[in-house]
Amino acid sequence: MQEFDTPFWSWYIIILTVVSIAGTALFLMSQRTRRLAPGEKAQEMEHRWDGDLVELNNPLPSWWVNLFWITLIFAAVYLVLYPGLGSFKGILGWTSFGEHAREMENAKAKYDPVFNQFMGQPVEQVAASGEAREMGQRLFYTYCAQCHGTDAAGATGFPNLTDKDWLYGGDAESIKSSIANGRMGVMPALGAALGEEGTKQVANYVLSLSGANHDAGLATAGKALYDTNCAACHGADAKGMAAMGAPNLTDKVWLYGGSEKAIVETINKGRNGVMPAQLQALGEAKVHLLTAYVYGLGGGMAKPEAPAMPAEAAPVEGAADAAGTSAAQADASAPAAQ
């Protein structure tokens, strides 16, 4: 009850409460009229309605009066046991914070073993387990669907997680790092530097890369602008760069739209997609399950540098995941994303 920074308000509430309860009790007692003696008749109180509806001076039925007493006693007992009287904490020491903490504790004791059972297994193996997929899906609906969609297919600005087109890499380690530590795509606003004409030219060059409709003259002029202004991040071949999440511009997959208008807007204003970090809120075990779920949606792939026998190489990679080191490594490789 830190809101009560002076004892005044605490006493104000205590006095109000006690006076109301005592006042109600006094009032109840004052309403106790004497019982009618046997044979005595209740008197008419001179109030008549609708001709024949009369008020008598019968005492209130005792079951009814007793209900009132029960509520008063309940209130008094409650206020002794629980917080309610100003800053008095109640003799049970109950708090809603304490109750919340206790419930969280119970839930942890109950569910942690369920979530933890997959911790020791590599992501690829967890992704193949039906039970883990179901748990992953429920977690995904709760924590991820509002941005990526219930089907994980994404939307403008929110990447599709079901295809093989990845901003930051589709191997288990990269996916886990995306989820655990978050991502921040930084596409700088280059409109001012390029000028309106230059922006149009480079936008048409970008369109040409995926075989979309474009103006060939503008695109040719745009190539040189691309090489000097864009290749550092999107790559000389424009296939993107996972270390900073720069998208592949040669496929037909667009995060922000592939029309000339959308591309010009991207170049003019820049883009800053933010994937919020989840590790702190969800913990290792849930992040591991979510990684496996996303991995298993169809886009999961072996680590690019891995030798040609991914099935055998997998457990080693998974062990690193379980130790929680993968996220840190993958993150260290993406300093530009800050």
For position 146 contacting ligand HEC by CB under 6 A, the verdict is yes
Closest CA to 243 of 321, 177, 144: 177
Q: How far apart are the first and last CA of the chain?
A: 41
For position 292 contacting ligand HEC by CB under 6 A, the verdict is no
Query: 241 has which bridge partners?
Result: 246
**Nearest-angstrom CA–CA distance, 338 and 272:** 11
Q: How many CB atoms lie within 10 A of CB 71?
A: 12
Stretch that binds ligand HEC, among 42-50, 103-111, 164-172, 307-315 (CB under 6 A): 164-172
For position 304 contacting ligand HEC by CB under 6 A, the verdict is no
- Candidates 246, 264, 277, 285: give the one binding ligand HEC (CB under 6 A): 246
3-state SS assignment for residue 44: strand
Percent helix, strand, coil in the chain, to 5, is 55, 5, 40
For position 296 contacting ligand HEC by CB under 6 A, the verdict is no
For position 132 contacting ligand HEC by CB under 6 A, the verdict is no
Q: What are phi and psi of 246, to 5 degrees?
A: -75, 120
Select 275 or 314, whichever has its Cβ closest to ligand HEC: 275
For position 278 contacting ligand HEC by CB under 6 A, the verdict is yes
Burial class (CB in 10 A: 0-12, 13-18, 19+), 61: exposed
For position 275 contacting ligand HEC by CB under 6 A, the verdict is yes
# chain residues binding ligand HEC, by CB under 6 A? 48
**Is there a contact between 202 and 226 (Cβ–Cβ < 8 Å)?**
yes
**Nearest-angstrom CA–CA distance, 110 and 159:** 34
Stretch that binds ligand HEC, among 79-87, 122-130, 264-272, 301-309 (CB under 6 A): 264-272
For position 115 contacting ligand HEC by CB under 6 A, the verdict is no
- Candidates 247, 296, 300, 318: give the one binding ligand HEC (CB under 6 A): 247
Select 59 or 188, whichever has its Cβ closest to ligand HEC: 188
Stretch that binds ligand HEC, among 51-59, 104-112, 123-131, 139-147 (CB under 6 A): 139-147
**Is there a contact between 87 and 2 (Cβ–Cβ < 8 Å)?**
no
Enumerate binding residues for ligand HEC (CB under 6 A).
143-144, 146-148, 157-159, 161, 166-168, 175, 178-179, 183, 185-188, 190, 202, 206, 229-230, 232-234, 244-247, 249, 254-256, 263, 266-267, 271-276, 278, 290, 294
